[in-house]
Amino acid sequence: MQWETVIGLEVHLQLATRSKIFSGSATTFGAEPNTQASAVDLAMPGMLPVLNALAVRYAVMFGLGIGADIGRRSVFDRKNYFYPDLPKGYQISQFEAPIVGRGSFEIQLEDGTTRAIGITRAHLEEDAGKSLHEDFHGQTGIDLNRAGTPLLEIVSEPDLRSAAEAVAYLKALHSLVTYLGISDGNMAEGSMRCDINISLRPPGSDTLGTRAEIKNVNSFRFVEKAIRHEFERQAEILEDGGKIVQETRLYDADLDETRPMRSKEVANDYRYFPEPDLLPVVIDEAYIESVRADLPELPTEKRHRFVEQYGLGHYDANVLADSRELAAYFEAVVAACGDAKIAANWVQVELLGQLNRGELSLNDCPVSAPALGGLIKRILDNSISGKIAKQVFEAMWQGAGSADEIIAARGLQQVSDTGELEGMVDAVIAANANQVAQYLAADEDRRKKLVGFFVGQVMKLSKGQANPQMVNDLLAKKLV
């Protein structure tokens, strides 16, 4: 039987503020347990929250980035439940009046098409601490360093139809938030965590099936696997005539399966109500305009501009605009060499190839954008061939200096001296009488193929440094 998968994602994004959302504690990842937990974070008696301005600004940046309505008067609420990683016994979140309202943004699918995915809302809240289940004599250890880290919870519409679309959505979201600089997007450190709502229905149906929620899936790969697994589980139940139970499930990456969560928040009543220790956050037009004025160019705009301004294909534009750093690198190469197409090719093939092989990030790249631009310039002015350029690039990667230094030091300069080349061409013609005879006897089409032999011989003689175009021209003149 055929099923349509309906997926909505709730992404918890840690915002890249230095201090917590409601206290002055540091948010640095990986500190010793409870060394970044202040009296406020520990919910000591009498402690009160004060809202971090940058968390608000980041939320508004996100809202503007997805073209959403910004909540002019957003309200924090208490979400009440007991859990040891939640020191106050309530999480300060936003329920009825979130800071970011409805918006949407574009995702790129593998076949090159794009789709707009709706965002229902995004709201600010505080992260919880961590429970460590290693053995403390049969007890659980609680680390509250993470408690109070600002989160933006981004809730999508149930607009996604496959695991691949869900991953494309997450990648686009990751790209957007890192462009905006509002999150480091580091999934391994939990900066971007995902809850997946998934249900199945017969194709063409416009009602939603009963959904399961899969909590806390923390990598693109696991999202894909969790959805595939959950699809199979639900399809099997439905095909056996069963019913899906609405429940919260946990994805177990080790076993590659989802299973129901046993404890947390089962059939809870969160008793949301406006947080009386905080007041409504009022955002006016002037504030929004000041944030808008500081927004960087966003991935979608950049992709479109790369296509128009540089004449790149959609695929190339997509790859190059994927991260703000890569796009900036690419544009700096273009600025240095003046040829966008060659620059696009070098950045994607040689540069990304080297980075991938070395498992390096762009920050660790040993060849600067102007340096790569300098190399490309030597291809463009015929100083070196593309083939030699790859050697030079390899040497640059090893730290041997600039393109010009390497070319000079290793004598890689292309031979473009007519006299010198003529000598080599004459020598090749003299040494290969048979081939010359064949060539002269051949028709136009065949000649085009045979000339390659002579070019090859000249290149061999010049150790690859002969200017191929000039060699071609000379051969055409002399083979008559």
Edge-first strand order for the sheet with 103-108 is 103-108, 114-126, 150-156, 4-14, 192-201, 212-217, 247-252, 257-260
Residue 288 interacts with another protein (CB under 8 A): yes or no: no
Q: Residue 381 in contact with residue 363, Cβ under 8 Å?
A: no
* Residue selected from 164, 235, 237, 278 as contacting another protein according to rule CB under 8 A: 278
- CA 141 – CA 202 distance, rounded (Å): 46
Q: Which is nearer to another protein, 141 or 468 (CB)?
A: 141
Q: Residue 403 in contact with residue 373, Cβ under 8 Å?
A: no
Choose one: 139-147, 205-213, 229-237, 434-442; the region binding another protein (CB under 8 A): 139-147
Choose one: 87-95, 156-164, 350-358, 391-399; the region binding another protein (CB under 8 A): 87-95
Residue 46 interacts with another protein (CB under 8 A): yes or no: yes
Phi and psi at 429, nearest 5°, equal -65, -40
* Residue selected from 143, 153, 159, 350 as contacting another protein according to rule CB under 8 A: 143
Q: Residue 451 in contact with residue 439, Cβ under 8 Å?
A: yes
Angle ∠(192,194,197) on CA atoms, nearest 5: 160
Residue 71 interacts with another protein (CB under 8 A): yes or no: no
Q: Which is nearer to another protein, 285 or 364 (CB)?
A: 285
* Residue selected from 37, 160, 344, 474 as contacting another protein according to rule CB under 8 A: 37
Residue 423 interacts with another protein (CB under 8 A): yes or no: no
Residue 285 interacts with another protein (CB under 8 A): yes or no: no
Angle ∠(162,170,258) on CA atoms, nearest 5: 60
Choose one: 75-83, 356-364, 394-402, 406-414; the region binding another protein (CB under 8 A): 75-83
* Residue selected from 30, 111, 113, 138 as contacting another protein according to rule CB under 8 A: 138
Encode burial over 197-220: b for 16+ CB neighbours within 10 A, e otherwise. bbbbbeeeeeeebebbbbbebbbb
* Residue selected from 3, 10, 54, 318 as contacting another protein according to rule CB under 8 A: 54
Between the alpha carbon of residue 9 and those of residues 98, 100, 398, the distances in Å are: 17, 16, 44
The helix (run of H) or strand (run of E) holding residue 342 is: helix 340-345
CA 363 to chain centre: 15
Sign of CA dihedral 328, 330, 335, 340: negative
Amino acid at 198: I
Residue 281 interacts with another protein (CB under 8 A): yes or no: yes
- CA 376 – CA 337 distance, rounded (Å): 6
Q: Which is nearer to another protein, 273 or 315 (CB)?
A: 273
Residue 348 interacts with another protein (CB under 8 A): yes or no: no
Stretch 257-276: interaction string toward another protein, x if CB under 8 A = ----xxxx----x-xxxx-x
Q: Residue 143 in contact with residue 33, Cβ under 8 Å?
A: yes
Stretch 223-262: interaction string toward another protein, x if CB under 8 A = ---------------------------x----------xx
- CA 116 – CA 121 distance, rounded (Å): 15
Choose one: 25-33, 219-227, 328-336, 429-437; the region binding another protein (CB under 8 A): 25-33
Give the nearest distance from C-beta 391 to another protein in angstroms.
Answer: 48
| DSSP helix/strand/coil, 148 | coil
* Residue selected from 8, 63, 71, 87 as contacting another protein according to rule CB under 8 A: 87
Residue 181 interacts with another protein (CB under 8 A): yes or no: no
Q: Which residues of the chain form contacts with another protein (CB under 8 A)? A: 17-19, 23-26, 32-40, 42-56, 75, 78, 80, 82, 84, 87-90, 131-133, 136, 138-144, 250, 261-264, 269, 271-274, 276-282
